[in-house]
C-alpha cells in the first residue's frame, strides 16, 4: 500500500441520542481516544443542552451552526445541504471539519430507520445494541449499506471489549489451554431491582411486534458473547464461522404479573399510595429515594433515568428539592381503563406497582444452542460438536456480573466478572487469572467494555481514513467483527425467541434459508 498522509485533524463524531448510552460513549471517546464529539442530535432540549455543554461547546458556551440538532432528521437535512453547497462552491467550508462517524444511541426501534437514512452519507457507524428489533430490519440495514463504499461498522456488544473477556477468548481460542471446547454454561444474573427498573417499569418492558423481548434487549450481549467464543473466526475455529445446527429456548414471566401482587396491596397501583409498600422489596420509594438518593447520594443511573435533571436540581437547590421532584415523578400513574394504551406504552412508570404494569417480557429464560461437527480440510480440531446453555434470570443479588463454566477436551475454565480460573487435566494444575483493577469510571462501564468498544471504533476510523488499513482489516483486527457476524448474532436471538414462543426446536440451516439470510 502506498504512503498516504493521515488526516491533519482528529476524527469528528456526531452522537444521535444524548441519554445514558450516548453519554457513556462520549465519555469514553473524550477520555481514551483522540476523537472529538462534534455534534449532538437529541429530541429532549434539556438532555441536548446538558450533553453539549459537557462534550462540545463547554459549560459557558453556546452551540454554533452544525453542533446541535433537535432530531436526527434535522441533522441529515443539514448535512445534505452542507455537502450540496460545498460541491457547488468546489471547496469545503473554511474551518469546518466534516463528521467522520456517527454514534447511534436512540431507542431500539429507531436504529434501522436512522441507518437507512444516513447510509447515502457514507459515514462510519457505531450503533448501540440491538442493531434492530426484527430480522427484516437487520437485513435492510445490510442492503442499504452495501450500496455504498465500505465504511467501519460497529455494534454496542461491549462484552467483546472488556479486558476480562479479551483474556478469556485468548485462553480459549489462541492459547487453547483446555483444548477443543465441548460445552459452555453461561449465566446473566440481571439483578432483582435492576430488572424491575428497566424491564418492568422502564423502556424495555414490552416485546417488539415480532414477539421479541428481553433476550434481545438485555441478553443479546450474551448470545453474541457465546457466538464470539464458539462460532466466530478464530485460531481455534478457522476463518469460516462454525454455524449452529439447532436452537431451543424456554422462558416465562415468573413473577411480575398481577397474580403475584400482595393481597395487602388491594387495588393500589402506585407505590406512594400502597398500604403494602413498607413490606414490599419493589417499593419505588425504597429503591429510588431511600437507596439511591438518601443512602448513595448518586445522581447518575438509575436516578438520572427517572429524573434527567436531578443533578442540576441538587446543584442549584439541594437534596431536599431533588427528593421532592423525585417523589413527584414517582407519584405519576395511569388508569388502565381510561388512559389510552398508546399513552401508557409511550413512557416509563417508575412509581407504578410492578404487578400492575403492561410488561410482557420474560424474566427467566434458557437458550440452548447446538453445533454439529463441521471439520474443515486440513483442520482436525476446533469444529467438533458442541453445545451452549445460556440462562438469563432476574432474582439475583449480582447485577449483570456474568458467570459461567467452559468444558474442554483438555481442561475446564470457570469465570465471573473478576477472575478466570483454569484447570488442566494433564498436570492437574489450577491457575487463577486475576483481572487488574481499572479506574472506577472505566470499571463501572461494563467492566471497561464501553471504553474498549469506543477506543476500537475510533482507532478503526482513524486507520481507514488515513489509508493505513482497509475496512476489512479494521473490522477484523480492531473492531473484531463485521456486519455479517453482527446480523448472525441477532438472527440467533430471533430464532431462539421463535423457538420459545412456538415451543419447538429450530433447525438452524432450514430457518436460515426460510428467513432469507444469505449464508456466506
CA nearest to 137, candidates 117, 111, 119: 111
pLDDT in tens, the chain (520 residues): 333 444 568 999 999 999 989 999 999 999 889 999 999 999 999 999 999 999 999 988 899 999 999 999 999 999 999 999 888 877 666 667 899 999 999 999 999 999 999 999 999 999 999 999 999 999 999 999 999 999 999 999 999 998 999 999 999 999 999 999 999 999 999 999 999 999 999 999 999 888 899 999 999 999 999 999 999 999 888 888 999 999 999 999 999 999 999 999 999 999 999 999 999 999 999 999 999 999 999 999 999 999 999 999 999 999 999 999 999 999 999 999 999 999 999 999 999 999 999 999 999 999 999 999 998 887 777 899 999 999 999 999 999 899 999 999 999 999 998 899 999 999 999 999 988 776 555 555 556 778 889 999 999 999 999 999 999 999 999 999 999 999 999 999 999 999 999 999 999 999 999 986 544 3
Please give the Cα distance from 344 to 422 (Å, whole number): 49
C-beta of residue 219 within 8 angstroms of C-beta of residue 394: no
Confidence (pLDDT) at 442: 53
C-beta of residue 180 within 8 angstroms of C-beta of residue 152: no
Length of the chain counted residue by residue: 520
User: Domain ranges in the chain?
Assistant: 12-156+450-479, 160-194+202-256+362-445+483-514, 258-345
C-beta of residue 496 within 8 angstroms of C-beta of residue 46: no
C-beta of residue 188 within 8 angstroms of C-beta of residue 400: yes
- What is the DSSP track for 342-405? HHHHTS--TTB-TTSS---S-SEEEEEEEE---PBTTB-SS-S-EEEEEEEES--SSSS--EEE
Q: How many helices and strands, by DSSP H and E, does the chain display?
A: 19, 15
CATH number for the domain running over 12-156+450-479: 3.40.50.720
The domain made up of 160-194+202-256+362-445+483-514 has a fold known as: Dihydrodipicolinate Reductase; domain 2 (3.30.360)
Distance of CA 389 to the CA centre of its chain: 21
Please give the Cα distance from 233 to 472 (Å, whole number): 14
Confidence (pLDDT) at 3: 37
Confidence (pLDDT) at 5: 42
Can you tell me whether residue 309 is helix, strand or coil?
A: coil
Same fold: 12-156+450-479 with 160-194+202-256+362-445+483-514: no
Please give the Cα distance from 36 to 133 (Å, whole number): 30
Beta strands 246-252; 506-507: pairing state: antiparallel
> What's this model's pTM, rounded to 2 decimal places?
0.93
Amino acid at each position: 500500500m502506498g504512503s498516504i498522509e493521515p488526516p491533519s485533524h482528529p476524527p469528528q463524531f456526531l452522537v444521535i441520542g444524548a441519554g445514558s448510552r450516548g453519554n457513556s460513549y462520549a465519555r469514553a471517546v473524550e477520555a481514551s481516544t483522540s476523537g472529538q464529539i462534534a455534534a449532538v442530535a437529541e429530541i429532549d432540549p434539556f438532555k441536548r443542552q446538558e450533553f453539549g455543554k459537557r462534550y462540545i461547546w463547554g459549560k459557558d458556551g453556546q452551540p454554533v451552526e452544525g453542533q446541535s440538532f433537535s432530531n436526527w432528521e434535522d441533522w441529515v437535512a443539514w448535512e445534505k445541504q452542507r455537502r450540496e453547497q460545498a460541491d457547488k462552491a468546489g471547496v469545503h467550508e473554511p474551518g469546518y471539519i466534516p463528521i467522520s462517524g456517527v454514534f447511534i444511541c436512540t431507542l431500539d426501534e429507531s436504529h434501522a430507520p436512522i441507518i437507512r437514512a444516513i447510509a447515502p452519507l457514507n459515514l462510519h457507524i457505531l450503533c448501540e445494541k440491538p442493531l434492530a428489533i426484527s430480522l427484516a430490519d437487520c437485513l435492510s440495514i445490510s442492503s442499504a449499506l452495501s450500496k455504498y463504499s465500505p465504511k467501519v461498522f460497529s455494534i454496542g456488544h461491549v462484552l467483546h471489549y472488556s479486558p476480562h473477556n479479551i483474556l478469556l477468548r485468548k485462553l480459549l481460542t489462541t492459547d487453547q489451554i483446555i483444548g477443543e471446547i465441548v460445552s459452555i454454561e453461561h449465566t446473566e444474573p440481571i439483578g432483582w431491582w435492576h430488572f424491575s427498573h428497566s424491564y418492568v417499569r422502564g423502556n424495555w418492558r414490552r416485546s417488539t411486534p415480532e414477539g421479541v423481548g428481553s433476550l434481545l434487549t438485555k441478553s443479546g450481549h450474551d448470545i453474541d458473547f457465546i457466538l464470539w467464543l464458539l462460532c466466530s473466526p478464530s485460531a481455534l475455529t478457522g476463518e469460516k464461522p462454525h454455524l449452529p445446527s439447532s436452537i431451543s429456548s424456554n422462558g416465562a414471566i415468573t413473577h411480575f404479573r398481577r397474580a403475584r401482587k400482595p393481597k395487602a396491596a388491594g387495588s393500589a397501583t402506585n407505590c406512594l399510595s400502597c398500604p403494602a409498600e413498607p413490606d414490599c422489596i419493589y417499593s419505588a420509594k425504597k429503591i429510588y429515594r431511600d437507596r439511591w438518593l438518601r443512602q448513595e447520594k448518586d445522581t447518575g443511573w438509575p436516578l438520572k433515568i427517572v429524573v434527567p435533571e436531578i443533578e442540576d436540581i441538587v446543584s442549584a437547590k439541594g437534596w431536599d428539592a431533588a427528593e421532592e421532584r423525585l417523589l413527584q415523578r414517582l407519584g405519576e400513574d395511569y388508569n388502565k381503563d381510561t388512559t389510552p394504551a398508546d399513552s401508557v406504552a409511550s413512557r416509563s412508570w417508575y412509581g407504578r406497582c410492578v404487578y400492575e404494569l403492561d410488561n410482557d417480557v420474560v424474566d427467566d429464560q434458557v437458550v440452548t444452542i447446538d453445533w454439529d461437527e463441521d471439520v474443515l480440510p486440513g483442520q482436525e480440531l476446533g469444529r467438533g460438536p458442541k453445545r451452549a446453555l445460556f440462562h438469563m434470570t432476574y432474582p439475583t443479588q449480582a447485577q449483570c456480573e456474568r458467570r459461567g463454566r467452559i468444558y474442554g477436551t483438555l481442561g475446564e475454565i470457570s469465570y465471573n466478572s473478576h477472575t478466570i480460573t483454569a484447570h488442566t487435566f494433564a498436570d492437574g494444575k489450577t491457575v487463577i487469572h486475576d483481572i487488574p483493577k481499572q479506574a472506577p469510571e472505566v470499571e463501572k462501564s461494563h467492566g471497561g467494555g464501553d471504553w474498549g468498544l469506543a477506543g476500537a471504533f475510533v482507532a478503526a476510523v482513524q486507520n481507514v481514513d488515513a489509508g493505513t488499513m482497509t475496512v476489512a482489516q479494521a473490522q477484523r483486527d480492531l473492531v473484531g467483527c463485521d456486519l455479517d457476524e453482527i446480523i448472525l448474532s441477532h438472527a440467533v436471538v430471533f430464532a431462539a425467541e421463535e423457538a420459545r414462543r412456538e415451543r419447538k426446536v429450530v433447525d438452524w440451516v432450514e430457518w436460515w434459508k426460510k428467513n432469507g439470510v444469505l449464508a456466506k
